[in-house]
Amino acid sequence: MRYKVDFLVIGSGIAGLSYALEVSKYGKVTILTKAEAVESSTKYAQGGIAAVMYSPDTYEKHIHDTLIAGAGLCDEKSVRITITESTDRIKELIAWGAKFDKTSTGVYDLAREGGHSEHRIFHHQDNTGAEIERALLEAVRKNKNIELKEYQFTIDLLTQHHLGKEANRHMDNVECYGAYVLNKNTNTIDTYLAKVIMIATGSNGNVYSATTSPVVATGDGQAMVHRAKGWLKNMEFVQFHPTALYNPIEKPSFLITEAMRGAGAILKNMNGEAFMSKYDSRGSLAPRDIVARSINTEMAKSGDDHVFLDCREISKEEIMHHFPHIYAKCLEIGINITKDMIPVVPTAHYGCGGIVVDEYARTTIKHLYATGECSCTGLHGANRLASNSLLEALVYSRRAALDSKEAIKDIDFCNQIPDWNAEGMIFNEEMSLITQTQKELQQIMSNYVGIVRSDLRLQRAFIRTGLINKETEELYSRSVLTPQLCELRNLIANAYLIIKMAMERKESVGLNYNIDYPPKK
């Protein structure tokens, strides 16, 4: 099938949905999403969304906290844009129907997380993301200008390459005309032509064996833009969340929100020692990179595969009120968190880098925007401040909408784009080969490109990933396409970018900790 649409949005998390709601005022919108619409990192967000609302908090304090967490590598312009627009974006989200917890006096009950100097986290119990996703999906489904199509796997972006103009193409003048999309319901590959395309495909967390990101998080947007010759940066800054529930059989890893440490929970080692004060004066509420590395050091010293989070000092009433889902989840596996400590381990959680965008979320490819976790606005620098990512998605999706409403006036559909050519694709390799290769890749990344890196480990990862890439490209060139094969290819591209950028960064800064380059004091 061949479709034409004004605005093509790929992804149904906070970034894609909020953009779609905005641009629906200016034209017809199609949202494509590769699974059930609700399935997204957004749905799993627990702690909440940071925004400045009440005194004594100020924009300057939030800006300062963000810059400190980013370890000197934030783009200050992006930080200022994001924080100073935070109050308006939260109000808009509330107007779309999202509900946040209030105190008995009717004001918002703002939480505090690591690295924040004030209470400024809007939350809905401990499942804020699910509430945001519910509200946005409801608003989208009521909107007559938006068509939401589930189980549509976007394979690749359409550019001059698909017009046979590869030779003339220069990295600075690539244009995007739409996308090839595998309809998982019919098993056909459709052509979507669009005037403006928004990539909002989220995280690449599944490049690692253990991640809090859902299974849909395979870095498809980052890989598609890389193949289309768009720019990416800061991919080496992978954030490991210090406290995922230690339960190796579970995928994705279940998060124990940082808000719990904000409420008084303390990290302890197997001997019951509250070890964080040895590493940082902010203790369990130090920035995430420091906490994750400290846990890593404790585990390396003791040989244990987890540490504990002790929340027994938090009142039962507070736990039931603010953390009911974590309480219920832990109880399911036999841990009563009002009496027992929770086994936790650092786990891949968030990619601070991604597709390079400017202040209106424009990528380096014409007519192509990117927002949310797949993008790199410069807000996070070398380390993201907790609860800044949902905010970033809202701010930049809105900015992208303002820009694309103007851009669309001068763009025509590129009707010359041919439909997908499936000729020569006959070889259907057994699925186990794909899943096995994916596991191999995840092991390489977890073993060599984790919280602590070295030049030798990165070199090993580079060589091994190169081999996996060669084998997979060979398979891809002669196989009937499946979403699993496309995802594997995308994960390999993301792994390559993370390793390459980690190799190029000859310093330990923020989330990139390399023992060959000790951090500057």
Q: How far is 503 from 415, CA to CA, in rounded Å? A: 42
Of the candidate residues 41, 127, 160, 191, the single one contacting ligand FAD (CB under 6 A): 41
Span from 142-150, 360-368, 383-391, 490-498 in contact with ligand SIN (CB under 6 A): 383-391
Q: Interaction with ligand SIN in 233-262: which residues (CB under 6 A)?
A: 257-259
**Region label for 73, one of left (φ > 0), alpha (ψ between -120 and 50) or beta (otherwise):** alpha
Q: How many CB atoms lie within 10 A of CB 287?
A: 24
**Length of the chain measured in residues:** 521
Give the CA distances from residue 473 to residues 223, 467, 491, in Å, rounded to whole numbers and listed in that order.
14, 10, 12
Q: Least CB distance from residue 288 to ligand SIN, whole Å?
A: 8
Contact characters 340-379, ligand FAD, x per CB under 6 A: ----------x---------------------xx------
Q: How far is 238 from 215, CA to CA, in rounded Å? A: 17
SS3 165: coil
Q: Are 211 and 495 in contact (CB under 8 A)?
A: no
Q: How far is 163 from 416, CA to CA, in rounded Å? A: 7
Cβ proximity to ligand SIN, 47 vs 353, nearer residue: 47
Of the candidate residues 26, 108, 153, 180, the single one contacting ligand FAD (CB under 6 A): 153
Q: Are 242 and 292 in contact (CB under 8 A)?
A: yes
Helix axes 389-407, 76-84, angle to 10 degrees: 90
Q: Is 70 in the site for ligand FAD (CB under 6 A)?
A: no
Task: Write the DSSP assignment of 65-90 as a string of letters.
Answer: HHHHHTTT-S-HHHHHHHHHTHHHHH
Q: Is 290 in the site for ligand SIN (CB under 6 A)?
A: no
Q: Least CB distance from residue 34 to ligand FAD, whole Å?
A: 4
Q: Are 402 and 231 in contact (CB under 8 A)?
A: no
Of the candidate residues 24, 125, 160, 203, the single one contacting ligand FAD (CB under 6 A): 203
Q: How far is 55 from 58, CA to CA, in rounded Å? A: 7
Q: Is 159 in the site for ligand SIN (CB under 6 A)?
A: no
Look at residues 514, 472, 475 and name the one whose alpha carbon lies nearest to residue 493: 472
Q: Is 115 in the site for ligand FAD (CB under 6 A)?
A: no
Cβ proximity to ligand SIN, 228 vs 345, nearer residue: 345
**Of these partners, ligand FAD, ligand SIN, none, which one is at the site of residue 309 (CB under 5 to 8 Å by kind)?**
none
Q: Are 256 and 243 in contact (CB under 8 A)?
A: yes
Give the CA distances from residue 493 to residues 226, 235, 468, in Å, rounded to whole numbers and listed in that order.
8, 11, 11
Q: Interaction with ligand SIN in 45-64: which residues (CB under 6 A)?
A: 46-47
Q: Is 347 in the site for ligand SIN (CB under 6 A)?
A: no
Of the candidate residues 389, 472, 508, 514, the single one contacting ligand SIN (CB under 6 A): 389
Q: Interaction with ligand FAD in 216-275: which residues (CB under 6 A)?
A: 216-217, 220, 255
Q: Are 419 and 180 in contact (CB under 8 A)?
A: no
- Helix then strand then coil, in percent of the chain rounded to 5, is 40, 20, 40
Q: Is 178 in the site for ligand FAD (CB under 6 A)?
A: no
Contact characters 483-502, ligand FAD, x per CB under 6 A: --------------------
Q: Is 401 in the site for ligand SIN (CB under 6 A)?
A: no
Q: Least CB distance from residue 516 to ligand FAD, whole Å?
A: 30
Cβ proximity to ligand FAD, 253 vs 514, nearer residue: 253
Catalytic residue among 89, 112, 288, 362: 288
Cβ proximity to ligand FAD, 190 vs 220, nearer residue: 220
Span from 10-18, 147-155, 385-393, 462-470 in contact with ligand SIN (CB under 6 A): 385-393
Residue nearest to ligand SIN as judged by C-beta position: 47
For residue 196 the two structure tokens come to 């403006």
Number of amino acids touching ligand SIN (CB under 6 A): 9
Provide the greatest CA pair distance for the chain.
Answer: 68
**Region label for 511, one of left (φ > 0), alpha (ψ between -120 and 50) or beta (otherwise):** alpha
Cβ proximity to ligand FAD, 372 vs 450, nearer residue: 372
Of the candidate residues 386, 401, 445, 461, the single one contacting ligand SIN (CB under 6 A): 386
Q: How far is 457 from 436, CA to CA, in rounded Å? A: 22
**Of these partners, ligand FAD, ligand SIN, none, which one is at the site of residue 438 (CB under 5 to 8 Å by kind)?**
none
Half-sphere exposure of residue 216: CA atoms within 13 angstroms, side-chain side: 27
Catalytic residue status for 288: yes
- Catalytically annotated residues: 288
Residues that bind ligand SIN (CB under 6 A): 46-47, 257-259, 350, 386-387, 389
Residues that bind ligand FAD (CB under 6 A): 10-16, 32-35, 39-42, 44-49, 128-129, 152-154, 200-203, 212-213, 216-217, 220, 255, 350, 372-373, 387-390, 393
